[in-house]
Amino acid sequence: MASATLTSHTTLHRHAECARRSAPGNRPPELTTTVPREYVHRTAVSEVFLTNWRREGAGCWTVSAQWPRAHSFYGPVNGLHDPMLVIETVRQAGILLSHVAHNVPLDHPIIWQRVRCDLSPQALRTAETPAEVTLHVTDHEVVRRGKRLISARQEFRIRCDGADLAIAALDFSCHSPAVYRRLRGEYSNLALANARKLPVPEAVAPQVVARDRTRDVVLSPTSRPDHWQLRVDTSHPVLFDHPVDHAPGMLMVEAARQAAQAATPGFALPITLECAFERYAEMDAPSWVRARTTARGDDGRRQVDVDIEQHARQVLSAQITSVPAP
């Protein structure tokens, strides 16, 4: 995998060298392409939001990103970018820095333990151009075994088009393929895990979870209004950008967001989200999603706790605070 990393670095340097040699009026002021898709564990180039990175000091980094004016899944609503774009951008930045800053090989899985985000809704407003996003990242609690990164906590200060957008934190661990196989057992067999997946259950009505299309709904109704079955649709081009052996983290985050929306009257805008990942959600058994409203404010603010369980064991716990959308 070192050769793959070297190839990606070489490609970037070639682009930069070609730009340097071009006539001054024919080159951009800085690199304006996306980072290699391998660095963010994406197959579709269109799903890569990061454009560059640079080191700012010991354990400090600046990562740049661009959000499209429209997206097939994380599209704007009511003139506001989808808050889940913040989580996905944090995900990509964490993976990128694990590879380019900490030399984690490209074939090492990156596993989330916790993600948190607090954002300012005003900074989510869309404009007539794609949003330019800057993430200032600081490493904390870095654990290594020899030279190999084992785990870390990263904190993010995020700006969008020059305005303060969010603060976020991400705890993750890195595993070699051999360690991952031991952790996952037979579930590490990608073909076997996908062959065992359950049929996709019916969806709740899209408007219940503030979605326009049935295929973007990740909850299936049950006999109780605050309980749902998780819809694991591996044909979804964004949530399943590439084959995986378990329900991916961004699917779980989206399920928490949709459950919080279903529990909140009217269109709700998440402004605080915290998710703790306890174990893997397998695709050969149903996962159950439950939402409970735990606080209400006079301004319409609501706090909703969401739990996802499988085999009566907690997979994810989340807390989401939402406000009525402007």
pLDDT at residue 228 in the model:
98
> Percent helix, strand and coil across the chain, each rounded to 5?
30, 35, 35
Q: Of 82, 115, 97, whose CA–CA distance to 41 is shortest?
A: 97
pTM: 0.90
Q: Tell me which DSSP letter residue 216 carries.
A: G
Cβ neighbour number for residue 69 with a 10 Å cutoff:
13
Distance CA 291, CA 105 (A): 38
Q: Is 9 helix (H, G, I), strand (E, B) or coil?
A: helix
pLDDT of residue 255: 98
Ordered structural domains, the chain, with CATH: 2-175 (3.10.129.10), 187-324 (3.10.129.10)
| Contact yes or no for 323/304 (Cβ under 8 A) | no
For the chain, 326 residues long, give each residue's pLDDT as a single digit of tens. 444 444 445 555 555 455 455 455 666 666 568 999 999 999 999 999 999 999 999 999 999 999 999 999 999 998 999 999 999 999 999 999 999 999 999 999 999 999 999 999 999 999 999 999 999 999 999 999 988 899 999 999 999 999 999 999 999 999 999 999 999 999 999 999 999 999 999 999 999 999 999 999 999 999 999 999 999 999 999 999 999 999 999 999 999 999 999 999 888 899 999 999 999 999 999 999 999 999 998 888 999 999 999 999 999 999 999 999 87
β-bridge mates for residue 181, sequence order: none
CB 137 within 8 Å of CB 61: yes
